[in-house]
Chains A and B, each alone.
Chain A
Amino acid sequence: MITFKDVSKTFTIGKREVHAVRNVNLTIEEGEIFGIIGFSGAGKSTLLRLVNVLENPTAGAVEVQGVDLASLRPTEVRKVRRRIGMIFQNFNLLTSRTVAGNVAYPLKLAKMPRAKIKERVEELLRFVGLSDKAKDYPEQLSGGQKQRVGIARALATSPDILICDEATSALDPDTTGEILRLLKKVNKEFGITILLITHEMHVIQSICDKVAVMEDGEVIESGGVFDTFTSPAHQTTKRFIRSVQQDLPSPSLLDEWRQKGGKQLYRIIFKGEVASDPVLSRVTRKHDIDVNIVYGSVQEIQAKFYGNLLVSFDGDVGKTANAVEELNEIVQIEEVDVTWA
């Protein structure tokens, strides 16, 4: 659906060159929710803006639905943009128009007949739950409501693709959840492919199917959200994951643990269905030792369980070794060296 082929974008400011995007190769498939995550300045917005030709690549090619965007004339570019809805961190609503006027705007640009516009606007406002706000002006709305208008407006021309530039970054956690659910609904009900960028791992975790991690203009890691989440390859990816899931207690707590003569710690990672099995208790009971869960969490990622626990065992050393060996056949288990912490 969207293909980046060796895409680079370099800005030249005077004599200085900024390599905002470097040699990016990515494919976004039809119907998926694809998230791009990265810290500020990683080049996410620039990459996104290449998709609807708000920027042009300095090297490589961006293809949307099989068409190389660089081959298009300006009028064709404008047609393609109607197939790609866009929403923004700051909503970018037209202050001189009402909510209904904002949603009607892209339809007017597309020269839809008046009566049809009215019908379509009502339908869209119903979809985003803002029918009662049709006559209000943007300044009378809350952030979440403004983003709903932004979404309704982006969906007006029935696009195939929706691109979102930090759509929830200006919103509080509750409202973020609301908007994310709405985006999921857009994806499910209309089959619209969503490409979103964010710096919040939480956004990726809650709605994305696939993720790409960007750093310094490059895509350093990409793949399914569950796989990337549960076995990250890159240090930056690990940092993002740690922002939603603490996998090690603070150094001071670890210190206390050591001073009190704390036992060897093991990290146990459950993936998928295994997490629901009472594995731990079964194996430890069998080997006649006790398990002590020191730290950790069990989370849901893409409708699958993901558990990351820090445990220690009480009991005979030999029995413990046997238990660990048996556990290793069912789940991922490793000794944790806390001396460096």
Chain B
Amino acid sequence: MGVDWQTFWPRIVEATGQTILMVAVTLVIGSIFGIIIGLLLFVTRKGNILENAFLYQIINFLINIIRPIPFIIFLVAISPLTREVIGTTIGTWAAIFPMSIAAAFSIARVVENNFISIDPGVIEAAKAMGASPLQIIYTILIPEALGPLVLGLTFITISLIDFSAMAGTVGGGGLGHVAMTYGYQRFDTSVMIVTVVILIVLVQLAQWVGNTLSRKILRR
């Protein structure tokens, strides 16, 4: 059996749009929270500019319990919360909620690692020049870590495309949903191939944008 491509194309286009929307919105929300959490984690570390063992332990613990949970399980596990916040557990926005939470904690770890790799001497130099903790954050930490941070976010974006496909299989819409209903349940190979090709193109695109940006920032 085959599909009617005449009516199918618009569905593909719509699903691609949904995937891009899910990934883009999640990336923005996840980055905002991820950077804030990662920053808090870094500055509250022992010996750092706003050392606070209590806060550090709490954030560290949260990240460590959320990150290892496979996304598909996390998705289902927090669905009651999703229903509370979004009002439904089905559709693009209902997928964005758990994706953003998972992304924020992954990004937090990436951000923390990028900050750790900044030469502590540079932070010390800024301090010696009279920079306040807040000034250190936005004039040293963020600009100095930006290049590797963009690469880290690119990596996250690609796993978000993966997440979005999983969210699609449980009613999130997007290419995952299309692949599931047409490809898996109706054994339509051509639909499968089309979605796979689109996913590959999206991943390549994300990688290319990320590489180009980080190369600009890192000047190499």
Contact = CB atoms under 8 A, between A and B. Distances in A.
Interface residues of A, number: 25
Instruction: Classify the interface of chain B: helix, strand, loop or mixed.
Output: helix
B132 to A, nearest CB: 6
A105 B146 CA distance: 18
Interface string A69-105: 0000010001101101010101011111100000001
Interface stretch (B18-26, B100-108, B135-143): B135-143
A31 interface: no
Interface string A103-130: 0011011100000000000000000000
A54 to B, nearest CB: 6
Contacts of B70: none
Interface in B149-199: none
A168 interface: no
A108 B125 CA distance: 14
A59 B140 CA distance: 32
Interface string B108-134: 000000000001011011111111100
A137 interface: yes
Contacts of A93: 122, 125
Contacts of B147: 96
Contact of B131 (A52, A92, A109): A109
Size class of the contact patch on chain B: 20 to 34
A92 B121 contact: yes
A78 B132 CA distance: 7
B130 A78 contact: yes
B47 to A, nearest CB: 11
A88 B125 contact: yes
Given A96-B146, A105-B139, A86 B130 contact: no
A157 B129 CA distance: 9
Contact of B128 (A86, A96, A108): A86
A312 B132 CA distance: 65
A179 B121 CA distance: 20
A39 B217 CA distance: 41
A245 to B, nearest CB: 33
A84 B125 CA distance: 12
Interface in B187-220: 217, 219
A109 B219 contact: no
Contact of A81 (B119, B129, B140): B129
B136 to A, nearest CB: 10
Nearest to A52: B128
15 contacts: A52-B128, A74-B132, A78-B131, A81-B128, A81-B129, A82-B129, A84-B128, A92-B125, A93-B125, A94-B125, A105-B139, A106-B129, A109-B131, A109-B135, A157-B130
B32 to A, nearest CB: 21
Nearest to B140: A94
A105 B129 contact: yes
A34 B121 CA distance: 24
Given A54-B127, A92-B119, 16 more contacts: A52-B128, A78-B131, A78-B132, A81-B130, A92-B121, A92-B122, A92-B125, A94-B122, A94-B125, A94-B140, A94-B144, A105-B126, A106-B129, A106-B130, A109-B139, A153-B129
B121 A109 contact: no
Nearest to B122: A92
A54 B131 contact: no
Nearest to A86: B128
Contacts of B132: 74, 78
Contacts of B140: 94
Contacts of A88: 121, 124-125
A137 B140 CA distance: 15
A106 B132 CA distance: 12
A92 B128 CA distance: 11
B164 to A, nearest CB: 32
Contacts of A86: 125, 128-129
A172 to B, nearest CB: 21
A94 B121 CA distance: 10
Top-5 shortest CB links A-B: A92-B125, A92-B121, A78-B130, A106-B129, A81-B130
A93 B127 CA distance: 13
A109 B129 contact: yes
Contact of B130 (A94, A95, A97, A110): A110
Contacts of A110: 130
